[in-house]
Structure 1
């Protein structure tokens, strides 16, 4: 059953209190941080899904369409899409299959590698991803629920967590021109 309004107490704060009371004080802050991030992800995903629902898109489908729309030619090798989206290859394959079925992308043979496939954005895919991006920008991204300063701080903190967890490397310094 769906919740009808705010809870009278923060359940994560209560869980932290219980953690400490049961002898796990050294892990209580970490538990509350992890749980808070997971709950915030649920809240944000629900907002994103509401914005994408009129377009018949999940966030995974939207991400793939947007990734293709950012490329010069609207296409890329499947392996590149898998690497950039940071999800299991089967998930990308299933997403591509659904987008092909809906006429939003095409799967084509790679012109130089017979074992690889290219994913190409169709004109219908480009139209829907642009409209969905407008909706996400208006309904979610322009007002994520935090002040601009808090948003910048949060992104910085989460980037540090991701970096320190091995999610990405620091960019190589660009050499000075000769």
Structure 2
């Protein structure tokens, strides 16, 4: 990446786009466009920080989420269907993540003892150790320093919760 791409701009391109939306006769959509575009850019920024933190540990955020879901489960294992439901992702995404985690020796997969059509995914001791190291790194490098005040964080979570609820997320 060149220095130009990593240096901040001298203006806010999203605010400029909002102004151009208004000037183009789309004033009713301008605030929504700015909000959605800001959310998408914030996602890129946060995901880049998270992935940079996890990369040295050899795990993506999607796989980390699976590890932590298993880590928090009472038995250290869950059916694949439950993993997909809790993470709100397509079964193919769960299969892909579990395949990679299994190849790395971080989880095991076996036939569910009560439903032979289902698979049970279990955290290995190596997976548990990696989940703990990754959580420590994310807490230190990302979650404890998100770039917002405590009050702003509460407001952001409240607003995003309302957005998610209105979209039928829960």
TM-score interval (norm. to shorter) = over 0.9
Between the aligned partners of 1:73 and 1:88, the Cα distance in structure 2 is 23
Q: Which runs of 4+ in 1 moved over 3 A?
A: none
Question: Cα offset for 1:72?
Answer: 1.4
Q: Which residue of 1 aligns with 2:140?
A: 138
Question: Following TM superposition, by how much is the alpha carbon of 1:96 offset from its aligned partner in structure 2, in angstroms?
Answer: 0.3
User: What is the aligned counterpart of 1:147 among 145, 149, 168?
Assistant: 149
1:10 counterpart = 2:27:
no
Matches of 1:39 and 1:110 in 2, distance apart? 41
Cα deviation per residue 1:2-45 (whole Å; 9 max; x = unaligned)?
Answer: 51311011000000011011110110000000000000000000
Higher helix share: 2
SS in 2 for 1:107: strand
Q: How far has the Cα of 1:142 moved from its partner?
A: 0.6
Deviations 1:22-70 (A, max 9, x none): 1101100000000000000000000101110111010000000000000
Alignment of 1:1-178 (within 5 A): 1-2=1-2, 3-168=5-170
* TM value normalised by structure 1: 0.93
Distance 1:40 1:16 in 2: 16
Deviations 1:102-153 (A, max 9, x none): 0000011100001000000000000000000000000000111100000000
Structure 2: runs of 5 or more not aligned: none
**Separation in 1, partners of 2:93, 2:81:** 12
Q: Is there any run of 5+ residues in structure 1 with no aligned partner, and where?
A: 169-178
Deviations 1:74-116 (Å, cap 9, x if unpaired)?
1000000000011111011001000000000001110000100
Q: Which residue of 2 aligns with 1:176?
A: none
When the two structures are superposed, what TM-score results if normalisation uses the length of structure 2?
Answer: 0.97
Distance 1:29 1:50 in 2: 31
Secondary structure of the corresponding residue to residue 143 of structure 1: coil
